[in-house]
Amino acid sequence: MCRWYARILAHYPYIIILVVLTVVTTCLVLTITLGSRIDFDDPIAGFEPRGTELADRLVTFANLRQNVGNQTNLLPESKVTDNRPSSTVKKKPKRTSFNNNTDKKHTRWRSNMHNKTNANIFCGVPDKSYPRLVVESTHGRSLFNFEDIQAICEMESHYFLHYESYEDLCFPNPVDGFCCTAWTLGSYIAVLSDRASCEHITAEDVASVQSLMLECAPFFHSGTLKINCDNEQEEWYFDTNYPPSACSDVPLKCTKYNAVAHIFYYLTDSDFMHTRTPPLSSNKPMSFLKYSTLFLPVSSGESALDLFKELDSMPRDYKTIKIVAAEFNVKYLLFEEYLISDSMWLSGACAAIFIVMWLYTSSVFITIMAFLSLFWAVDIAYCLYTFVFNIKFFPYMNMVTLVVLVGIGADDLFIYCKVWRLAKSEKNNGVLEKLVLDTLRHAVMSMLVTSLTTASAFYANYISDITAIRCFSVFAGTCIVMNFVLTLTWLPASIMLEEKWLRCFTNMNNKKYSILYCLCKFPYRLYYWICDWSRIFFEKILPCLVIKFRFVWLIMFSIFWIGSIVIIFFYPRLKLPTSDKFQVFSSDHLLERYDLQVGKQFRFESNKNNEDRQQFFVSVVWGVLAKDNGDPLNPSNKGSLTFDPEFNITSPEAQKWILQFCARIRHTDFYLHMSSYTDCFFERFFKEFMAQDCSNLQVGDVECCNRTGFPIPADKLMDCLSVYISLLQHTPGVQYNNHSPGPRFSNRKISAYFVQLASNYSYSTSYEEAHTFYSKVNQWVNNELLYAPPGMRRGWFVSDLHFYDLQSSLAMGTPLTLGLSLSIVAVVSFFTTLNVLISIYAFMAVAASISVTLASLVLMDWELNLLESVIITIAVGLAIDITLHYGVAYRLAPDIGKEMRVITSVGRMGSPVAMATFTTMLAGALIMPSTVLAYQKFGTFLLLLVSLAWLYATFFFQSLLRIMGPNGGCGQFHWPASDCCMQGTRGHVDKTVYAFSDSTVSTSSTSTREQSQSQNYYTSHHELEPLTGQDHHLQSHQMPHSNNNIPYGCPQHLDQHNHHHPRRKGDYLTVKSSSTPLSTSGNTPASPSASSIDKHQLILTLDSIPAS
């Protein structure tokens, strides 16, 4: 099979090219015509667990409240047919953080909420729904001074009022029709000082308001001064939370226009004038103002997108202030645009690697074809991903695959070209078909190891519970596999085309085709110039450093390894994410700085009093099974409800038990009494509605009033529920909708029911606090269900724990995936070297390099988020390649001592390993300036990991081999021999079989002699010769200067071929022993003691021969 394929490649490479082009064209056409458009409008889609116990509950609870598939109704009269719509949720996920799953308040209409006195300045009050930016002083002083406040006022005019579209975006003032004034510190000072605008305030006004703030600060921080003390109750949508009557003890000057409370709550940071004692390390007074916000009277979101772009294009510094953060609710809208613009950094990385590959291959054509193979790999992988694997969701994390693919593709090209050159430079290299066969046999194993380890690390991520990570694992792993397939097909065929025809064409007339000739000749000459100094470094200097300082390297890198373990697991530790705001841009971006750093400095962001989710709620559901039957690889397909056939809440036992359940839960230590949130539906129904006087019942049904008997028959229960729910829906101030706790009906029977009560656990993104809450409440609910009636025993507890579920999946899934990747690497390492000790040392080197990399990332304040989880698990596949190349070279080196084998390993594999390391580091470094966080972090990771992997493989791993490496057959296994693999006759001798002959060294030599031989080897010129004829004798002469690098059938190439350094590749392949010279006849050794020498020949794979 292999010979047949080599014959086709050698004589008909265009057939392979045409077959590959046919396949990729078919995939491309299918993708364009039948595939859906890749959409990154919602970058956090899929960043949620699926399949966990809690995830199943959250998905089912969301389906129940959203009534997915119209399977339930709020009223018993409505019928639900079996022909329900598809269960796929077509609506796009909301562009919000992970904690967006509770009921949001209705849209706040503020056009009539302007203050009675300052209506000519403000249009209502500031709100989180408005765009805002945060400023600070450029001089490190408090912002509460006349110069800085005046600069804020001027910046509003200079940056926004002069923007040509601002008038179309702003809210008009109902008094004069002009744009409403922005809510700034200067504007409120103008209101309190009775000035027309902030441009008219004076330094005395600023000082006066600052004194007023100091006087009113204790009332605000004690909670007495509210943000609506000076307004009529009906004017405020939040009047029930902040009744004006609560401000009776506050001086009137502190409540004037509510300005003081608004300044504290909306416009100044939470440390400003706080009554708590300032930290001892801070020399700043209590009145020091670091940050101040500026609210714009425009709608946030898509309508403010152009306004933010205008702001982003303006200088950050303006006079004495600077903009440090902004929030326009456009972060996810901008993501796709930034993703496309950051492609220039990826293009720059590709261009730089293109030049490196061109210099290495000395051929523009091969380099172009190699890059085309990367594109073909992505094309085929995406086609398989979409049509074969039938995955409909394509997360933006899949784009990171391109960076890895460029590095892997370059590595494969280096290996194949190196082996091809070595085969051509060998004496008696035979016919072209034989060259192709030998190249494939020896290059495939190295490329297979590289591709297998990387693809395995990617595929190992499929065991994750998170949708985006699972999709990424499939796409990335398939890309690597397809790249390997194309490396065996497209790349060899391209090299044969270049070898057989293009080189002849470019050298037919050097003068006539001078430009093309120079273009091809320059990298060819530069390559051999680089070979001169690289040979000195990798064959002499680097082995010398490794051998002489082996104990230093071992101790130093071991200390780094131990220290990294302390950093990762003890202090400061690799932490789980603490913010439920997902980061997509670099940390210095205005929008990210607000979400991650600056926003929480303000009370209106950190204070939960105005939030729906001040506390964790306890929701207990019956009637539907917690089962996610949707597509786990598609975040928009959450499946449908699966009803519990045993559920029956209308039975007398169930009616009694549900009331007792609500009573018992109120006596628990996690229950919080909130009169405004009643949520044991049947409790109010039985105790208030059914027990009311019939004269109060507007709908005439005497069976549903004055009812003291309990329980109620099932048929009458349904009738009364219909009346009660209809009254709730028409009661002013009461919202009874799909999100309200209570029963859900299907074909005039209760098909589901849930209660919802508040807990005394405050909502927290801390994993420990959320875990304590979930474990405690879940255990209590499960214990209660054990004693429930048969129709009520399959209930389950759920709360707003989306972020906790994500944290839990990362905490448990990342170590599991990492362990699986390490196990695969250990297996691959063993089967590659078949040596126990080499495999153990390689495993140690990989584990150490990954550990030090993670410790470095921890010191850079990285947290274990989604992207970091993927990075950690794929690190194994990227780090093992370098170590395995060294390990294979050590194993195949001549068995004349550990030191000699280390020297051989470093000398032979140092150059190609360093080249592969350099290209991967280059790719990482060039994408680090990206704005998109995924590119930036992945670039940082590549730069760190690959550099540390090279250091640990070259110095730590080789030092281990020199000190404790295997000698002879120690720890060595062998594949079982098979007669079908042996040559049946010795009639034909293959003159291109490469053998390495040991020096004639006595088996009883001492360590001193071994050191002497190592030094002789290190300083001498060695020659690798092919076996000839039947005698298998060694020859002492050097390989003659041959022209085996000349393309077949191209005599014109002789001129180009003769320009390089006299010591061609063929000269580096010969081995001469300086310790025991051989006779020129090759029949008898020159030394009389040679008869006692153990001579043997070791067949050596070409990929262990030095590229330089």
The rounded distance, in Å, linking the Cα atoms of 269 and 857 is 31
CATH of the domain at 524: 1.20.1640.10
The predicted pLDDT at position 246 comes to 59
- Claim to verify: residue 143 and residue 230 sit in the same structural domain: yes
- Claim to verify: residue 866 and residue 941 sit in the same structural domain: yes
The predicted pLDDT at position 944 comes to 95
If one counts every other C-beta atom within 10 angstroms of the C-beta of residue 1060, the result is 18
| Partners of 172 in beta bridges | 179
pLDDT per residue as tens digits for the range 163-186: 888 888 998 887 777 888 999 999
Of 958, 968, 761, 943, whose CA–CA distance to 856 is shortest?
Answer: 943
The rounded distance, in Å, linking the Cα atoms of 252 and 274 is 21
With beta carbons less than 8 A apart as the criterion, state whether 1016 and 896 touch.
no
Out of 799, 820, 848, pick the residue that ends a domain.
Answer: 799
Of 458, 528, 710, 741, whose CA–CA distance to 623 is shortest?
Answer: 741
The predicted pLDDT at position 533 comes to 80
- Claim to verify: residue 745 and residue 837 sit in the same structural domain: no
Dihedral (C-alpha) 51, 54, 59, 61: value to the nearest 10 degrees? Answer: 150
The better pLDDT of the pair 476, 993 is held by 476
pLDDT per residue as tens digits for the range 836-868: 999 999 999 999 999 999 999 999 999 998 889
997 token code pair:
């002959």
The rounded distance, in Å, linking the Cα atoms of 752 and 887 is 63
CA distances from 818 to 767, 815, 830, 944 (A): 21, 5, 18, 18
pLDDT-derived band of residue 85, with 50, 70 and 90 as boundaries? very low
What is the β-pairing status of strands 995-997 and 742-745?
A: unpaired
- Work out the end-to-end distance of the chain between its first and last CA atoms, rounded to an integer number of angstroms: 32
The better pLDDT of the pair 898, 118 is held by 898
Show the beta-strand stretches assigned E in 608-677: 615-622
Question: What value, to the nearest 5°, has the Cα angle with vertex 680 and ends 674 and 681?
Answer: 125
- Claim to verify: residue 662 and residue 713 sit in the same structural domain: yes
pLDDT-derived band of residue 521, with 50, 70 and 90 as boundaries? low
CA distances from 613 to 609, 616, 764, 767, 778 (A): 9, 7, 10, 17, 19
The SS3 call for residue 532 is helix
Out of 293, 328, 363, pick the residue that ends a domain.
Answer: 328
Give Cα 552 distance to the centre of its chain: 36
pLDDT per residue as tens digits for the range 729-768: 887 777 788 888 999 998 888 999 999 988 999 888 899 9
Number of structural domains (the chain) is 3
- pLDDT above 70 coverage of the chain, percent: 77
Residue 470 confidence (pLDDT) above 90: yes
The rounded distance, in Å, linking the Cα atoms of 491 and 372 is 10
Q: Under 8 Å CB-to-CB from 570, ≥6 apart: which residues? A: none
Give Cα 756 distance to the centre of its chain: 36
If one counts every other C-beta atom within 10 angstroms of the C-beta of residue 245, the result is 8
Q: What's the mean pLDDT in 813-838? A: 88
The predicted pLDDT at position 525 comes to 67
Helices 866-892 & 802-833, crossing angle to 10 degrees? 10
The better pLDDT of the pair 128, 21 is held by 21
Of 812, 819, 828, whose CA–CA distance to 850 is shortest?
Answer: 819
- Claim to verify: residue 929 and residue 826 sit in the same structural domain: yes
- Estimate the share of the chain in helix, then strand, then coil, as percent rounded to the nearest 5: 55, 5, 40
The rounded distance, in Å, linking the Cα atoms of 203 and 147 is 8
Domain region containing 693: 53-98+614-799
| pTM exceeds cut of 0.85 | no
Out of 940, 964, 988, pick the residue that ends a domain.
Answer: 964
- Claim to verify: residue 773 and residue 789 sit in the same structural domain: yes
Residue with tokens 């040392």: 841
What string of DSSP letters covers 312-332?
A: HHS-SEETTEEEEEEE-S-HH
**Domain membership flag for residue 747:** yes
The better pLDDT of the pair 1091, 267 is held by 267
The better pLDDT of the pair 94, 788 is held by 788
pLDDT-derived band of residue 48, with 50, 70 and 90 as boundaries? very high
Residue with tokens 């839960």: 665
- Claim to verify: residue 480 and residue 621 sit in the same structural domain: no
Residue 444 confidence (pLDDT) above 70: yes
**Domain membership flag for residue 970:** no
State which H helix or E strand residue 1090 sits in. Answer: none
pLDDT-derived band of residue 630, with 50, 70 and 90 as boundaries? very high
The predicted pLDDT at position 516 comes to 55
Mean pLDDT over all residues of the chain?
79
**Domain membership flag for residue 230:** yes
pLDDT-derived band of residue 696, with 50, 70 and 90 as boundaries? low
Give the least confident one: 184-198, 936-950, 1038-1052: 1038-1052
The predicted pLDDT at position 1003 comes to 31
Question: Phi and psi at residue 251, in whole multiples of 5°?
Answer: -60, 145
**Domain membership flag for residue 299:** yes
With beta carbons less than 8 A apart as the criterion, state whether 721 and 703 touch.
no
Q: Under 8 Å CB-to-CB from 81, ≥6 apart: which residues? A: none
Give the least confident one: 706-720, 938-952, 992-1006: 992-1006
The rounded distance, in Å, linking the Cα atoms of 726 and 731 is 9
- Claim to verify: residue 839 and residue 729 sit in the same structural domain: no
The answer to whether the peptide bond before residue 741 is cis (omega within 30 degrees of 0) is no
State which H helix or E strand residue 797 sits in. Answer: strand 796-798
Of 815, 632, 461, 767, whose CA–CA distance to 56 is shortest?
Answer: 632
Residue 1020 confidence (pLDDT) above 70: no
Of 755, 766, 836, 842, whose CA–CA distance to 804 is shortest?
Answer: 766
With beta carbons less than 8 A apart as the criterion, state whether 939 and 928 touch.
yes
Q: What's the mean pLDDT in 672-681? A: 69
**Alpha-carbon dihedral sign for residues 585, 589, 591, 592:** positive
- Claim to verify: residue 293 and residue 344 sit in the same structural domain: no
Give the least confident one: 123-127, 776-780, 1096-1100: 1096-1100
The rounded distance, in Å, linking the Cα atoms of 984 and 457 is 41
Of 3, 17, 1026, whose CA–CA distance to 500 is shortest?
Answer: 17
The predicted pLDDT at position 152 comes to 94
Helices (H), 1005-1106: 1007-1019, 1054-1057
422: amino acid identity, one letter: L
Q: What's the mean pLDDT in 928-948? A: 93
Q: What's the mean pLDDT in 683-696? A: 80
The rounded distance, in Å, linking the Cα atoms of 567 and 854 is 9
- Claim to verify: residue 813 and residue 790 sit in the same structural domain: no
- Claim to verify: residue 792 and residue 832 sit in the same structural domain: no
3-class secondary structure per residue, 207-260: HHHHHHHHHHHHHHHCCCCCCCCCCCHHHCCCCCCCCHHHHCCCCHHHHHHHHH
CA distances from 912 to 489, 885, 901, 955 (A): 22, 9, 18, 16
The better pLDDT of the pair 9, 1058 is held by 9
Of 284-288, 374-378, 722-726, which has the strongest mean pLDDT? 374-378
**Domain membership flag for residue 239:** yes
Of 695, 696, 703, 694, whose CA–CA distance to 722 is shortest?
Answer: 703
Residue 197 confidence (pLDDT) above 80: yes
- Claim to verify: residue 185 and residue 248 sit in the same structural domain: yes
**Domain membership flag for residue 755:** yes
Q: What's the mean pLDDT in 960-983? A: 73
Q: What's the mean pLDDT in 449-462? A: 88
pLDDT-derived band of residue 1042, with 50, 70 and 90 as boundaries? very low
Q: Under 8 Å CB-to-CB from 48, ≥6 apart: which residues? A: 55, 98, 466, 467, 635, 802, 805, 806
pLDDT-derived band of residue 584, with 50, 70 and 90 as boundaries? very high
Show the beta-strand stretches assigned E in 860-965: none
**Domain membership flag for residue 267:** yes
The SS3 call for residue 154 is helix
Q: What is the CA radius of gyration of the chain?
A: 38
With beta carbons less than 8 A apart as the criterion, state whether 767 and 632 touch.
no
With beta carbons less than 8 A apart as the criterion, state whether 1038 and 990 touch.
no
880 token code pair:
């093992």
The SS3 call for residue 433 is helix
Helices (H), 1046-1101: 1054-1057
The rounded distance, in Å, linking the Cα atoms of 183 and 123 is 9
Residue 231 confidence (pLDDT) above 50: yes
The predicted pLDDT at position 1023 comes to 32
962 token code pair:
């020199």
Residue 13, classified by CB atoms within 10 Å of its CB into exposed (0-12), middle (13-18) or buried (19+), is buried
| Partners of 73 in beta bridges | 745
**Domain membership flag for residue 514:** yes
Taken as a whole, the chain contains a residue count of: 1108
pLDDT-derived band of residue 1021, with 50, 70 and 90 as boundaries? very low
